[in-house]
Amino acid sequence: MKLTLGVVGRQRTGPEEALADDYLARANALGRGQGLSPVSLRTFPPRHATGREEITAMVLKALEPGTTRLVLDERGTDMGSQDFATLLARLRDDGAGHAAVLIGGAGGWAEPMRRGAAAVLRFGRWTWPHRLVRVMAAEQIYRALSILAGAPYHREG
């Protein structure tokens, strides 16, 4: 199963970009052995779309047909790393060809993005800067793949 981290907006060059890229490279290396590869980053520049409805419509249209959506949204539910790994494995085992973890713009997602998503998740109740969410999502993808690979990166308890 292909796995994509899809992000609305462009990352500014800097340490956050380098860290997100590093986690995605690590995830891509682990993913090959787990049937979860390639792992890639895709940015959706908002161009002239300004509102959340326009941005949501643009991203939905740009996704490959049949992409399973894992949507990050402040109205989502909390999910632990082990459960996220289990979700990715279940999608893979159920024959999903492509899953995308999607980070919206500053205004979040409109209802059509959340509707029909395989999961709507959040990183707790706190508000996070967009560039840190990208790093955190990349790290969680890597962590999930390390759990599935039995690597010692993740520790419970």
Q: Is 156 within a domain?
A: no
The tens digit of pLDDT for each residue in 69-110 reads 999 999 999 999 999 999 999 999 999 999 999 999 888 899
> What's the CA gap between 57 and 61, in Å, rounded?
6
Q: Is 154 within a domain?
A: no
Q: Is 157 within a domain?
A: no
- Domain count for the chain, please give it: 1
Q: Is 59 within a domain?
A: yes
Q: Identify the band that residue 156 occupies on the pLDDT scale cut at 50, 70 and 90.
A: confident
Range of the domain at 132: 2-149
Residue 85 belongs to domain with CATH number = 3.40.1280.10
Torsion angle, CA of 149/150/152/155, rounded to 10 degrees?
110
